């Protein structure tokens, strides 16, 4: 398993952002769904080793990120697209991707070709020499995806990757997800249910920091059948049904 989380918890003061999540994920595309504030981003940041868990156990690519050596090894094999991608306005797309390829400790001789491949992969070949400050939001997102995939990561973590992409780009992006999912573990946090239905082999649904569903997109669809839950598509109805059940259960418990 590339990702093993056991009772993973993260608190910010009195707020519990992630509450005892247990999860395993191997190669494939894993969709992380949930409403705003469900804890998706905190969970992803813990998996990206940028946020320490408050409690619980985390193993990534068979290693414990608690030690310096294993953490560095994980980071070499990791691709991460944060929700808020900061960027250097004066860098070109190629400079930006190359900079992070070097910080990922890629062998320098491999870097130029890997950068070119990543930029072409996200369809930014014609803007490779453009400064980041001149790009649209969707193009910036694609530059962020390019830096995430430049090292051919074994674990690819993407937080709201399709935000700002137009429909054509989203279709291309889903193809990219499927391609990477064949050899890596790809975890995509999103609130766009249709992205999950098309690209993901597994899906987890979070609410109030807890994991309230884990299964295939087909199983999520089944949850919505005959439930009378709101939604225009079968997956949306499954999403709504699971959330409603989780919240009524939580209300009953309290």
Q: Which positions lie near another protein, rule CB under 8 A? A: 45, 48-58, 64-68, 70-73, 75-76, 78, 80, 82, 84-89, 91-92, 94-95, 98-100, 102-105, 108, 111-113, 115-117, 119-120, 125, 128-129, 147
Q: Which residues contact 108 (CB under 8 A, 6 or more apart)?
A: 102
Indicate the length of the chain as a whole number.
Answer: 254
Query: In whole angstroms, how close is the CB of 251 to another protein at the nearest point?
Result: 31
Would you tell me how many other CB atoms lie within 10 Å of the CB of residue 253?
6
* Pick 51 or 192: Cβ nearer another protein: 51
How near is the Cβ of 36 to another protein at its closest, in Å?
A: 19
Minimum CB–partner distance for residue 72 and another protein (Å): 5
Task: Specify whether the CB–CB gap between 189 and 38 falls below 8 A.
Answer: no
**Is 158 or 229 the residue whose CB approaches another protein more closely?**
158
Angstrom distance (rounded) from CA 94 to CA 88: 12
| Nearer to another protein among residue 112 and residue 249 (C-beta) | 112
Q: Which is nearer to another protein, 68 or 251 (CB)?
A: 68
> Least CB distance from residue 146 to another protein, whole Å?
11
Determine the Cα–Cα distance for residues 124 and 89; give it in Å rounded to an integer: 16
Sign of the dihedral through C-alpha 203, 37, 171, 148: negative
User: Taking the complex as a whole, how short is the minimal distance between the CB of residue 56 and another protein, in angstroms?
Assistant: 8
Shortest reach from residue 103's CB to another protein, in Å: 4
Ordered DSSP codes for 214-240: EE-HHHHHHHHTTT----SSHHHHHHH
Q: Which is nearer to another protein, 56 or 231 (CB)?
A: 56
Direct distance between the N- and C-terminal alpha carbons of the chain, in angstroms, rounded to an integer: 35
Element (H, E) at 78: strand 78-81
Q: How far apart are CA 47 and CA 44, in angstroms?
A: 5
Nearer to another protein, 115 or 235 (CB): 115
């Amino acid at each position: 398993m590339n990702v093993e989380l056991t009772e993973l918890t993260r608190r910010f003061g009195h707020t519990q952002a992630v509450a005892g999540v247990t999860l395993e994920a191997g190669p494939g595309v894993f969709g992380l769904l949930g409403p705003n504030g469900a804890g998706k981003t905190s969970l992803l940041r813990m998996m990206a080793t940028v946020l320490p868990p408050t409690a619980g156990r985390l193993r990534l690519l068979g290693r414990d990120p608690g030690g310096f050596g294993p953490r560095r090894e994980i980071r070499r094999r990791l691709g991460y697209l944060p929700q808020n991608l900061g960027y250097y306005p004066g860098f070109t797309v190629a400079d930006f991707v190359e900079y992070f390829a070097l910080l990922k400790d890629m062998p320098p001789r491999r870097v130029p070709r890997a950068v070119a491949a990543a930029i072409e992969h996200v369809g930014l070949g014609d803007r490779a020499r453009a400064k980041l400050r001149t790009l649209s939001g969707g193009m910036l997102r694609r530059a962020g995806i390019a830096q995430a995939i430049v090292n051919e990561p074994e674990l690819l973590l993407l937080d709201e990757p399709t935000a700002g992409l137009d429909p054509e780009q989203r279709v291309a992006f889903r193809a990219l997800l499927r391609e990477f999912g064949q050899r890596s573990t790809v975890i995509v946090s999103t609130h766009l249910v249709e992205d999950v239905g098309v690209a993901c082999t597994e899906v987890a649904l979070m609410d109030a920091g807890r994991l309230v569903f884990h299964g295939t997109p087909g199983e999520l669809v089944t949850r919505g059948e005959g439930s009378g839950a709101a939604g225009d598509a079968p997956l949306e109805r499954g999403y709504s049904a699971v959330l409603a059940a989780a919240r009524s259960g939580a209300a009953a418990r309290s």
